[in-house]
């Protein structure tokens, strides 16, 4: 990351404000381009992670950015950054304070800093709690943003991924809707030997700390590292996912008391008010590399075992401070969601920490609604089911779904059920299936199950034809490469290829997904995702049995093309290449025949059929 900063554009400004006790330098680090990370680095008070006057609790830096033409305004939280290069130096103290901003408009922006101090000001709602801390407080300036020069898969070419009151997320710059696929395991992805921190030898499950050695081979010249070559294993793992066409990865950011106990943002696992500046800066190196490679970041902020660790589950000092630090350090990334609890709520028969109640579940989403300037997608995971988060007054925008059947057969029905819920809060839930399968094995390795038929059919296509916007894949706890021990994503290489085929299909089909709903009643021997009178996506597990479809609506012409979910490739023609709808609800039968030409060569396999209005 240090090399990237040197290569980036660095502007140093010196501002003197008469009403402030002190003035300070500010550096703008990064490329001043739309959607790019622009870091404002201020010279502030000298501080240290272990200062008696806690810099994380007793200072609050915010910068408000206003676009001069549109008057869009964002209040972005900042954080204590030690020496400003802690990922390389492991510094615990210094005088650098930072704010990350990802501008969404070209042209002139104005900024104004607020920097206050006082007991507990970091979690105060207004500035009435504190006093001016001098330095950059009340300083202002302007800067100009030009268009991005990036190309896909870099998310800076697509813009911020947004929840837009629809069941699918949309890119702000390029338009189009996102279908995600990638690993949900290992949940302790950030339990990594090359990160700084006390977890390496604190006596809490130190044997689970990973090296990601199998993916060192995937690191490339020019990729980031820190501290003379650290990070190659995990950076290489990100490269491997991108090379397979995957676009998502998930990870816990806090698992104290949980299954692994090695991932936490703090200096140690006992003090929840002091953050490990260098470790979090190293996390950012990995996250930034992931975004440049088109990898969505699924932040899982806690798990069932530790949902009551901070403030006994409430929204007090510890939890607010934790969430503020996540938003300040990582909220500028363009494609992410905040998962506010894995297997959350009141369901565990013997919880090790107090389970969170409905009011506490709702309060977490409200905090992100009020404090995340970019309004990223907010989800929670079952455990407790989702009835309370869909109620009026809830600020959740989606559900992260777990199922338990070994053959993944619950997924299709679970997604249909959630998509069919009435919209009581003015927003439909965007549904992702983020832990499909049973707890023991779930997605087995290629060695154990090279075909992955159940995962592909019931899991992947079962979710997508029901109306889910994506899937992530859990590895079980009994597999050799398990949810806690996995550090080689190649163990599921053949499945990632099949998941990529699904992403490719939706990219080729270019469908108006928000208007689509599950319509299985329209077909026999197939699941159907449809937008009436426009398109029908059918998935059949065995095309040799024949597939029937009825087309409601006025007369129209439709094209018929086939897609191979096992091997991918282009859309193909079958024996029927067009349908003519000349009266409502007329039945058309699409059958495989021997003289198919370029049509599917294996009719007894699963196929996807795209029927689209001409």
* pLDDT at 585 (0 to 100): 56
Fold category of 2-145 in CATH: Immunoglobulin-like (2.60.40)
For residue 434, is pLDDT > 70? yes
Q: Is 462 exposed, middle or buried (0-12, 13-18, 19+ CB in 10 A)?
A: buried
- The pLDDT of residue 555 is 79
- 68/81 Cα distance (integer angstroms): 29
Q: Give the C-alpha separation, 579 to 585, whole Å.
A: 13
Q: Is the pLDDT of residue 490 over 90?
A: yes
Q: Which two tokens stand for residue 584?
A: 């409502």
User: Does residue 614 register a pLDDT over 70?
Assistant: yes
pLDDT computed for residue 600 by the predictor: 57
* Across 500-513, average pLDDT: 97
d(CA 115, CA 135): 8
Comparing 178 with 427, which gets the higher pLDDT? 178
Distance between CA atoms of residues 610 and 34, nearest Å: 36
β 547-551/586-590 pair status: antiparallel
**Whole-number pLDDT of residue 592:** 29
Res 25: pLDDT: 84
Q: Residue 578: is its pLDDT beyond 90? A: no
Token pair, residue 499, equals: 């998941």
Residues 7-60 pLDDT 10s: 333 333 333 322 233 457 899 999 999 999 999 999 999 999 999 999 999 999
Indicate the range of 1-10, 100-109, 592-601 predicted with least confidence.
592-601
Q: Would you state the structure tokens that stand for residue 302, as one six-digit string?
A: 């806690």
Closest among 278, 289, 56, 282 to 156, alpha carbons compared: 289
Residue ranges of domains in the chain: 2-145, 181-512, 519-613
Cα gap 324→316, rounded to integer Å: 12
- Contact by Cβ (8 Å): 369, 330: no
Residue with tokens 């501290």: 227
Counting residues of the chain whose pLDDT is more than 90, the rounded percentage is: 84
Q: Is 452 within 8 Å of 498 (Cβ atoms)?
A: yes
User: pLDDT value at position 145?
Assistant: 98
**How far apart are alpha carbons 60 and 73 in whole angstroms?**
19
365 three-state secondary structure: helix
Q: What is the pLDDT of residue 598?
A: 29
Neighbours of 424 (CB within 10 A): 11
Cα dihedral 560, 565, 571, 576 in deg (nearest 10): -30
**Ranges assigned E (strand) in 436-486:** 470-473
Hunting for tokens 């979090």 — which residue is that? 280
Do domains 2-145 and 181-512 share one topology? The answer is no
For the structural domain made of 181-512, what CATH number should be given?
Answer: 3.20.20.80
Q: pLDDT tens across 585-604, in order?
A: 555 544 322 122 223 567 88
240-286 pLDDT tens trace: 999 999 999 999 999 999 999 999 999 999 999 999 999 999 999 99
Show Cβ contacts of residue 362 under 8 Å, excluding neighbours closer than 6 positions.
388, 389, 393, 394, 395
Please state, in angstroms and rounded to a whole number, the distance separating the CA atoms of residues 177 and 155.
13
Containing 251, the helix (H) or strand (E) segment is: strand 248-252
Q: What are the tens digits of pLDDT across the range 297-350?
A: 999 999 999 999 999 999 999 999 999 999 999 999 999 999 999 999 999 999
DSSP-based three-state secondary structure for 141: strand
Average pLDDT of the chain to the nearest whole number: 92
Q: How far apart are CA 327 and CA 321, in angstroms?
A: 10
Alpha-carbon distance of 196 to 282, in angstroms, equals 8
- The set of residues, in sequence order, having a beta carbon less than 8 Å from that of 105 and lying 6+ positions away, is 34, 67, 69, 70, 72, 145
Band of pLDDT at residue 573, cut at 50, 70 and 90: confident
In this structure, what token pair is assigned to residue 517?
């709903």
Tell me the mean pLDDT in the region 122-144: 94
Nearest CA to 516 out of 504, 528, 524 is that of 528
State how far the Cα of 409 lies from the Cα of 363, in Å rounded to an integer. Answer: 33
Residue 487 token pair: 């550090």
pLDDT band at 451 (very low <50, low <70, confident <90, very high): very high
Q: What is the pLDDT of residues 137-195, one digit of tens each?
A: 999 999 999 999 999 999 999 999 999 999 999 999 999 999 999 999 999 999 999 99
CATH match for 519-613 among 3.40.50, 3.30.70, 2.60.40, 2.50.20: 2.60.40
* Tokens linked to 405: 């059947």
pTM of the model: 0.94
* Whole-number pLDDT of residue 587: 52
Closest to 275 in 3D by CA, of 318, 239, 237, 232:
318
Report d(CA 92, CA 279) in Å as an integer. 10
> Dihedral of the CA atoms 161, 292, 181, 467 (nearest 10)?
20
């Amino acid at each position: 990351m240090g090399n990237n900063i040197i290569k980036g554009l660095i502007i140093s400004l010196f501002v003197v404000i008469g009403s402030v006790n002190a003035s300070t330098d500010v550096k703008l680090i990064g490329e001043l381009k739309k959607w790019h990370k622009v870091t404002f680095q201020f010279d502030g008070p000298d501080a240290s992670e272990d200062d008696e006057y806690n810099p994380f609790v007793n200072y609050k830096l915010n910068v408000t950015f206003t676009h001069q033409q549109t008057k869009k305004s964002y209040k972005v939280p900042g954080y204590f950054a030690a020496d400003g290069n802690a990922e390389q130096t492991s510094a615990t103290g210094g005088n650098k304070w930072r704010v990350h901003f990802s501008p969404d408009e070209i042209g002139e922006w104005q900024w104004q800093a607020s920097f206050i101090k006082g007991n507990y000001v970091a979690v105060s709602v207004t500035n009435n709690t504190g006093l001016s801390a001098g330095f950059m407080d009340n300083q202002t300036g302007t800067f100009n943003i030009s268009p991005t020069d990036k190309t896909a898969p870099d998310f800076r070419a697509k813009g911020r991924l947004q929840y837009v009151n629809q069941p699918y997320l949309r890119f702000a710059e390029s338009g189009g809707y996102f279908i995600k696929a990638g690993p949900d395991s290992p949940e302790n992805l950030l339990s990594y030997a090359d990160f700084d921190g006390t977890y390496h030898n604190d006596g809490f499950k130190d044997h689970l700390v990973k090296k990601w050695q199998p993916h060192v081979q995937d690191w490339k010249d020019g990729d980031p590292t820190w501290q003379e070559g650290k990070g190659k294993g995990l950076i290489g793992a990100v490269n491997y996912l991108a090379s397979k066409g995957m676009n998502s990865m998930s990870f816990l950011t806090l698992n104290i008391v949980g299954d692994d106990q090695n991932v936490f943002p703090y200096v140690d696992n006992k003090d929840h008010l002091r953050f490990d500046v260098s470790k979090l800066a190293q996390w950012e190196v990995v996250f930034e590399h992931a975004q440049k490679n088109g990898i969505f970041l699924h932040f899982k902020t806690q798990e069932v075992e530790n949902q009551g660790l901070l403030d006994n589950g409430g929204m007090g000092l510890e939890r607010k401070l934790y969430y503020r630090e996540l938003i300040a350090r990582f909220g500028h990334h363009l494609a992410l969601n905040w998962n506010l609890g894995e297997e959350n709520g009141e369901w565990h028969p013997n919880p090790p920490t107090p389970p969170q109640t409905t009011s506490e579940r709702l309060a977490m989403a409200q905090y992100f609604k009020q404090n995340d300037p970019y309004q990223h997608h907010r989800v929670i995971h079952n455990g407790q089911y989702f009835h309370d988060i869909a109620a009026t007054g809830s600020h959740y925008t989606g559900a992260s779904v777990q199922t338990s059947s070994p053959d993944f057969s619950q997924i299709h029905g679970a997604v249909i059920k959630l998509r069919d819920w009435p919209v009581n809060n003015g927003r439909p839930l965007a549904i992702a299936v983020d832990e499909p399968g049973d707890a023991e094995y779930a997605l087995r390795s290629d060695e154990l199950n090279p075909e992955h038929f159940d995962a592909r059919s019931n899991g992947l296509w079962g979710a997508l034809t029901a109306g889910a916007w994506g899937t992530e894949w859990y590895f079980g706890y009994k597999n050799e490469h398990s949810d806690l021990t996995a550090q080689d994503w190649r163990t599921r290489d053949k499945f990632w290829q099949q998941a990529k085929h699904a992403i490719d299909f939706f990219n080729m089909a270019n469908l108006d997904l928000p208007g689509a709903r599950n319509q299985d009643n329209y077909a026999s021997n197939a699941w159907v995702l449809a937008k009436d009178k426009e398109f029908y996506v059918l998935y059949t597990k065995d095309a040799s049995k024949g597939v029937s479809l009825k087309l409601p609506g006025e007369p129209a012409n439709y094209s018929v093309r086939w897609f191979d979910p096992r091997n991918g490739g282009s859309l193909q023609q079958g024996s029927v290449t067009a349908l003519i709808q000349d009266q409502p609800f007329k039945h058309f039968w699409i059958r495989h025949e021997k003289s198919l030409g370029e049509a599917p060569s294996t009719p007894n396999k699963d196929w996807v059929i795209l029927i689209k209005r001409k």
